[in-house]
Structure 1
Amino acid sequence: MDIFYNLIKSLIILIYWLLIANITYRILIKRRSIPSSMSWLLTIYIIPFIGIVIWFFFGEFYLEKRQKKIANKIWSISNKYLNQLKSYKYIFQIKNSEVATSLFQLCKHRQGISGIKNNNITLLTNTQKIIKILIRDIYLARKNIEMVFYIWKPGGVADDVASALIHSAKRGVHCRLMLDSAGSIEFFRSPWVKIMKRSGIEVVEALKVNFFRIFTRRIDLRQHRKIIIIDNYISYSGSMNLVDPFLFKKSSGIGQWIDLMTRIEGPIATTIGIIYSCDWEIETGYKILPKLPNKEMFKKKLNHNSSIQVIASGPGFPKNMIHQALLTAIYSARKELTMTTPYLVPSDDLLHAICTAAQRGVKVSIIIPLYHDSILVKWASRVFFSELLEAGVKIYQFKKGLLHSKSILIDQQLSLIGTVNLDMRSLWLNFEITLVIDDSKFSHNLEITQKEYINNSQLLDKNIWSMRAYWTRILEKIFYFLSPLL
C-alpha cells in the first residue's frame, strides 16, 4: 500500500513539474514585456498549484477555437470592403493639423484608410441628456439599429431605451443588440431578453461565461466597446454603459458615474459599422457588413475642417494599435496634454511617454476619480503617482462621483474619446474602441468639460504624497506586482 501511495505521489509531483516546465516555456517563447513575464513566472513558482490554475484561466487562451478561426481572417476580409470604401474619395481628409498628422498617418498605414471628414460631431456629457437624445434617434430610425455595450443594467432610463428599441423593431426596423455576458449578467437574467426577442430584436450574449467555457478561452477577455449605429448614418461611442446613473452601483457609496459620449452624423458610421460587423461575425459566424455611403446623404451639412479615425482593438484587429496610437499622440504634444481615466495602470512605455512630455515642457494633467469601484486598480495606480509627480505631471482627483470618462486632449486640437482605460486590460486584451478626432471646435468643447472636472477635483500635493505612511507604500508595491495581470 505504501508503495502505491508513493507511486501516486511521485506521479503527481512529476505532472506538476511538467506543467510548470511547459508553462515556463510558453511564457519565455512568447515575447511579453519583462514585468509581465516576471509576474507570471513568480506566480506559478511561488504559489503552488494555484499559480497553474491562474495561468490556465488568464494566461494564454483568448478566444474559443471557432471564434479564433474567424478572428484570424476577419480583418483581411474587412480590408476588401475598405478598398471599396476608398472609391468614395469625397469622404476622406487629405491633410490634417500638425499635431494630428503623425497619428493619422499611423492609422492610415496600419488600418488601410485615411481619416473621414464630412461629419457633424457633438460631445455629450450628461447621461440623462444622452439617453433622451438616443431615445429620440431610436424612435426616428427607419432601417437599422445596431448596439453593443459592456453593461446593460435594467431599471430606470435603461428600460426607456429598451421600450424604444422594441417599438422600433415592431414597426420594421432591423435591430441587433450585442452585450457582454459578464458585464450584462443582470440583463440576461431579466425578462427583457425574451421580450426583445419576441419583438424581433436579435440579442447576442457576447463571450458567454459558464463553467465549460473557462476551459476553452480566457474568462477575463471582455467585449468592452460601447457603440450605437442608426441607419448607417448616426453613430454613438464613448465611455457610457446602458445604465441609469441614479441606480447604477448606488450601494457602493461612490456617487454617480460621470461619462462622455460622442454623437456623430456622417460617413464615420460606416467605419464604425465595419467594427461592429467584425464583432458580430466573431460571435455569431454571420457577416453583416454595412452598406457603402450614400453620396447624396453625405452632401448634407458637410464639415471639411475636421476628420475622424476609428481604432479598434481585440483579437482579430491590428495588434497593439491602441497602445501605439496613445504613444504617438502623447509624443505629438507640444503645449498641453490632459487625460481623464478611471483606471490608471499604464504600461512602462506609456508612463515614460507621459513623464517625458512633462519634462520637455508640456503642461500635463491627469484627472482620475478620488473614489473608486475597484480596490485592486486603485492601489495599483498609486505606485505610479510619485514618478508622475516628480516629472511635473499634475494629478487631479475628481470628488463628485466616479469619473468614468476616457479622454485625451492634445494642444487644444486633437482629441481621443472612447472605451480605453489606461490599464493593461484595455491596452492588450479587451475588445475596445477609440475615436481620434482632429477638430478644434470639438476639442474646445472637450477642454471646457475637462476644466469642469478639474474644478471639481483636488490637486495631489507632491510633498504631502511623499509623507504617506510606510505601510501604504508596501501595499502599493504588492498591487503593483499584480498590475501586469490586471
Structure 2
Amino acid sequence: MSLSSITQNIYTIITLINLVLAISVIFIERRNVGVTWAWLMVFLFFPVGGFIIYLIFGQNLSRLKIYKDKKWARELHRELTNHQMQEFRSHNIEYNDPSMARYEDLIFMNLASAKALYTQDNSVRVFKDGTEKFDALFEDIRSAKTHIHLMYYIVNDDEIGRSLLELLKSKAEQGLEVRFLYDPIGSHRLSGRFFQPLLEAGGQVAAFFPSKVPYLNFRVNYRNHRKLAIIDGQIGYIGGINVGDEYLGRVRKFGYWRDTHLRMTGTSVRLMQRNFIRDWNTASKRQMIETEFFLPVVRDEDKGRVGVQIVASGPDQRYEHIRNAYIKMIHRARESVWIQTPYFVPDESLLNAIQTAALSGVNVKMIIPAIPDHQMVYWATHSYVGDLLPLGVECYMYENGFLHAKTLIIDGKVASVGTANFDIRSFKLNFEINAFLYDQEIVRELQQNFLNDIERSKLWTYEAYLKRPRMHKLRESVTRLLSPIL
C-alpha cells in the first residue's frame, strides 16, 4: 500500500470520527444550539484535530455526580431551605430594610433554585483592588485561632504568592488547620514544589480536577473559578481577586488592576464555608465533615444588618443559577442596571434581557476594559456590545489600567459581586460563586466606585463603533461564532 493510500485512509477514519462526534453533539447530548453550531464549526474547519479538541474541551459534566456531600448534610440543608421557602410563602419574613421586599421574587428564586439561604445578620466591607484586599486578608490570617481555608483559581509563584505561602506556613506550624484548594489550569505556572513548605508544616493542599495523565486532561474545560477565603469560620472573603502580583498592579502590561472583593462576617460565612467543604471533599482524599468547628455560631461583634445570599453554580448543576439570577435582576430593575465585567459574551437570553431593559427606559451603563488580557474574548465582547449601543446603552472603556471587577447593580438597592463574568464560560463551564447583596448602604458604595470608574473611562459611542476598521469587524464576527466555547 502506498504512502498516499495510507494517508487517505487515515484522513477518512478521522473524518468519520468527526462525523460521529457531530451526530453525538446534535442528537445525543442535546446541547444549547449556539454551542452545537460552534462545535460543528470546529469539526468543519479542523477535520484532523477537531475530535482531539472536542475530547479535551467538549466533555459534558452536566449529567455527572461530582460532589460527595454527606447524606445528613444534604438533608439538613434541604430542611433549612424548605423551612425558609415556607416562611416566604407565608409572608413571615421581616426585612431589616423594608424596601427589599420589592425584590422578594429574586430572593425566592435563588432560594428555590440554588438553595441559597437568605441571611440578614451580615457585615460587609468592599475592596476595590488587590492591595486593600490582601492587607486585610493577611491581618485576618495573622489573627486566626483555629483554621484557615483558601480557594483560588490562579496562584502565582511571585512576591504576593510567596508572602501568602510563608504566612500560611507559620500558622500551620502554630497548630492551625490550613487548607489550600487551587485550580491546576488557572495556576499552571506553579511548580510542583511551590506548596511543599506548607505541606511540611502540616498544611493540606488539593488541586481541583487535576490531570491524571501528564499533559492530558479530559476535564480541562471545566475549571473551578471560585475565590474564597474563610478564617475560623467567622470571616469570609469572596470576589474577583486571585493570588498574583498583577492583582496588586505590579505587572507593567496591565498597570493598576481594578477589581471588586468583599470581606464578610455573619451567617453568610457559614454558607461560604459549606461551599468550600463541598469543593474540598471533591478534590481531596482527606475528607472534611460539617461540624461546629467549621460552622461556629456567629459572634455578636460580627453581626450586621446586610441581607446576603451566596449563590454557587457549575456545570454539574441542572440550572445556571448565577445567569438566571442576573436575568431576574435585570428584568426586575425599574430605574438602573449597571454592569462591570472584563468579558461580555452573553447568551441570547441575557442579551435580550439587557436590550429589553434599555428599550423600557431603564438606565443601562456598562464598563469594560480598554485593554485585553484574552484577545479572542475581547473581540467577541466588542461584537456583543455593538448590539447594545444603538439602544442607548452607555458603554465605557476603562483606561486606568485593567478592569476585572464582576458587579451588577440594579436600582441602587441590590447588587451581585463575585467570580462570575458576563460570559457563557462562567455560566455553563466554570464553577463560580457570587454574593447577592440586599442593602442600600453597601450598594451605594458600589455605585460610587462605579461612578469613580466612569471618570477614568472613555465613552464608546455607536458612531465610533461603526467606524472601526474592517479587520476588527472580521475578528469580531469570527469570535462571535465561536463565543459559546471560548
Tell me the TM-score normalised to structure 1 length. 0.90
For residue 245 of structure 2, what is the aligned residue in structure 1? 244
CA distance in 2, matches of 1:75, 1:108: 21
CA distance in 2, matches of 1:101, 1:53: 47
Structure 2 residue 52 is the aligned partner of structure 1 residue 50: no
CA distance in 2, matches of 1:276, 1:383: 36
Distance 1:122 1:8, change over 3 A: closer
1:156 pairs, out of 154, 159, 167, with 159
Query: How far off is 1:12 after superposition?
Result: 5.8
For residue 337 of structure 2, what is the aligned residue in structure 1? 337
For residue 35 of structure 2, what is the aligned residue in structure 1? 36
For residue 228 of structure 1, what is the aligned residue in structure 2? 229
CA distance in 1, matches of 2:213, 2:319: 29
Structure 2 residue 284 is the aligned partner of structure 1 residue 284: yes
CA distance in 1, matches of 2:472, 2:339: 25
CA distance in 2, matches of 1:465, 1:8: 47
For residue 109 of structure 1, what is the aligned residue in structure 2? 112
**Aligned 8 A contact 1:105 1:114 in 2:** no
**AA in 2 matched with 1:158:** G
Distance 1:450 1:5, change over 3 A: closer
Please show how residues 26-105 of structure 1 align to structure 2 within 5 Å: 26-62=25-61, 68-71=64-67, 74=69, 78-83=73-78, 94-95=93-94, 97-105=100-108
**Aligned 8 A contact 2:195 2:205 in 1:** yes
SS of residue paired to 2:435: strand
CA distance in 1, matches of 2:285, 2:318: 20
**Aligned 8 A contact 2:227 2:240 in 1:** yes
Between the aligned residues of both structures, percent identity stands at 26
Please show how residues 237-316 of structure 1 align to structure 2 within 5 Å: 237-245=238-246, 250=251, 253-292=253-292, 293-295=295-297, 297-304=298-305, 306-316=306-316
**Aligned 8 A contact 2:240 2:404 in 1:** yes
**Aligned 8 A contact 2:369 2:399 in 1:** yes
**AA in 1 matched with 2:145:** R
SS of residue paired to 1:125: strand
Distance 1:69 1:213, change over 3 A: farther
Query: How far off is 1:260 after superposition?
Result: 1.1
Distance 1:290 1:235, change over 3 A: farther
TM-align CA RMSD? 2.8
CA distance in 2, matches of 1:400, 1:289: 45
**Aligned 8 A contact 1:28 1:37 in 2:** no
Please show how residues 384-395 of structure 1 align to structure 2 within 5 Å: 384-395=384-395
CA distance in 1, matches of 2:82, 2:209: 35
2:206 pairs, out of 204, 207, 211, with 204
SS of residue paired to 1:161: helix
Query: How far off is 1:213 after superposition?
Result: 6.9
Query: How far off is 1:50 after superposition?
Result: 1.9
Distance 1:246 1:330, change over 3 A: closer
Please show how residues 83-482 of structure 1 align to structure 2 within 5 Å: 83=78, 94-95=93-94, 97-112=100-115, 114-189=117-192, 191-209=193-211, 211-212=213-214, 214=216, 217-245=218-246, 250=251, 253-292=253-292, 293-295=295-297, 297-304=298-305, 306-317=306-317, 319-482=319-482
Query: How far off is 1:308 after superposition?
Result: 0.8
**Aligned 8 A contact 1:367 1:398 in 2:** yes
**AA in 1 matched with 2:108:** Q
**Aligned 8 A contact 2:249 2:255 in 1:** no
Query: How far off is 1:290 after superposition?
Result: 3.6
- Select between 10-19 and 408-417 the one with higher mean Cα deviation: 10-19
* 1:306-348 deviation line (CA, Å, top 9, x unaligned): 3111111224445311111111111111101111000111111
**Aligned 8 A contact 1:99 1:414 in 2:** no
**AA in 2 matched with 1:356:** T
Query: How far off is 1:473 after superposition?
Result: 1.3
CA distance in 2, matches of 1:124, 1:181: 26
Query: How far off is 1:258 after superposition?
Result: 1.4
SS of residue paired to 1:48: coil
CA distance in 2, matches of 1:146, 1:308: 21
Distance 1:485 1:298, change over 3 A: same
**Aligned 8 A contact 2:153 2:224 in 1:** yes
Distance 1:69 1:337, change over 3 A: closer
Distance 1:248 1:476, change over 3 A: same
- Select between 32-41 and 391-400 the one with higher mean Cα deviation: 32-41
Query: How far off is 1:205 after superposition?
Result: 2.1
CA distance in 2, matches of 1:267, 1:406: 23
CA distance in 1, matches of 2:184, 2:17: 34
SS of residue paired to 2:326: helix
- Select between 255-264 and 203-212 the one with higher mean Cα deviation: 203-212
Distance 1:303 1:8, change over 3 A: closer
**Aligned 8 A contact 1:406 1:421 in 2:** yes
**Aligned 8 A contact 1:99 1:411 in 2:** no
**Aligned 8 A contact 2:156 2:190 in 1:** yes
**Aligned 8 A contact 1:24 1:41 in 2:** no
**AA in 2 matched with 1:179:** Y
SS of residue paired to 1:160: helix
CA distance in 1, matches of 2:414, 2:337: 10
CA distance in 2, matches of 1:341, 1:192: 31
* 1:53-84 deviation line (CA, Å, top 9, x unaligned): 22121112549x9xx5443x649764323146
Query: How far off is 1:246 after superposition?
Result: 7.2
Distance 1:259 1:452, change over 3 A: same
**AA in 1 matched with 2:242:** N
Query: How far off is 1:25 after superposition?
Result: 2.7
Distance 1:101 1:144, change over 3 A: same
CA distance in 2, matches of 1:22, 1:356: 37
Identify unmatched segments of 5+ residues in structure 1: none
Query: How far off is 1:351 after superposition?
Result: 0.8
CA distance in 1, matches of 2:31, 2:410: 30
Query: How far off is 1:362 after superposition?
Result: 0.6
**AA in 2 matched with 1:413:** K
Q: After the TM superposition, list the runs of 4 or more consecutive aligned residues in structure 1 that deviate by more than 6 angstroms.
A: 86-89, 246-249
**AA in 2 matched with 1:445:** E
CA distance in 2, matches of 1:26, 1:14: 18
**Aligned 8 A contact 1:20 1:52 in 2:** no
Query: How far off is 1:33 after superposition?
Result: 2.3
**Aligned 8 A contact 1:120 1:266 in 2:** yes
- Select between 128-137 and 152-161 the one with higher mean Cα deviation: 152-161
SS of residue paired to 2:219: coil
**Aligned 8 A contact 2:406 2:418 in 1:** yes
Identify unmatched segments of 5+ residues in structure 2: none
Aligned length: 475
